[in-house]
Amino acid sequence: LTGTSREQRAFQYLLMHAIPGDPHHILQTFDQWCYHCEHLSCVGPDKGRIVERVLSERAPLRVLELGTYCGYGTVLLAQGLPPGAHLYTIEGDPRHAAVAEKVIRLAGFSEQTVELIVGPSEEVIPRLREKHGLMNADLVFMDHWKRCYLRDLQLLESHQLLAEGATILADNVLFPGAPHFLQYAKTCGKYHCKVHRAKLEY
């Protein structure tokens, strides 16, 4: 009825209530909106703690996020990066990317720290090295279309974009589920797998 999307309405709420340049408060305000106003498919605070723990343990310098959406996960990742680290985030929907860009900058992250790349992941991944300078990623966070998880993991492998000992963190592999991705990760012999049990966001 308003003529604006849920994502745009959430951003307007952030503008009114969040503290610019404070990533933690940006995420808290996002959570307030999602709990009390409208549901958005963001990582949320419960699963966010898992992401924060992995970031703390791994201290990755080159991070790749597949599925920026509104920028919630991007801000979550960016605030946990060590000094000098760089985050590349890919979003296929230009409308979502337009909102995410504003959210990321509102949180205080420059293009030197967070680079938002708009386009289908299957087209962007093969040119990450040549066009965007990503030699290989220490951590990959997958939170886009579940049917793309396996394809994009294999694309990263074939283009040698995974650093030795890289961590792949994939959201919602049980529900709504990415069974082919999960089977491959468990049986191909390249990965040690761990499933983190968590509640659905909000």
pLDDT in the model for residue 1? 63
Active site residues: 143, 146, 171-172, 201
52-56, 173-177, 188-192: which range is least confident on average?
Answer: 173-177
Structure tokens, 93: 């929907």
Inter-residue contact 116 to 97 (CB < 8 Å): yes
What domains can be seen in the chain, in order of their start residue?
6-188 (3.40.50.150)
Q: What is the dihedral of CA 174, 179, 182, 186, to 10 degrees?
A: 120
Q: Which of 139, 140, 137, 142 is nearest to 171 (CA)?
A: 142
Inter-residue contact 46 to 171 (CB < 8 Å): no
Share of the chain above pLDDT 70, in %: 100
pLDDT in the model for residue 201? 87
Q: Is 164 exposed, middle or buried (0-12, 13-18, 19+ CB in 10 A)?
A: exposed
Q: What is the DSSP letter of 174?
A: I
Write out pLDDT tens, residues 37-56: 999 999 999 999 999 999 99
Write out pLDDT tens, residues 148-162: 999 999 999 999 999
Mean pLDDT taken over the chain: 96
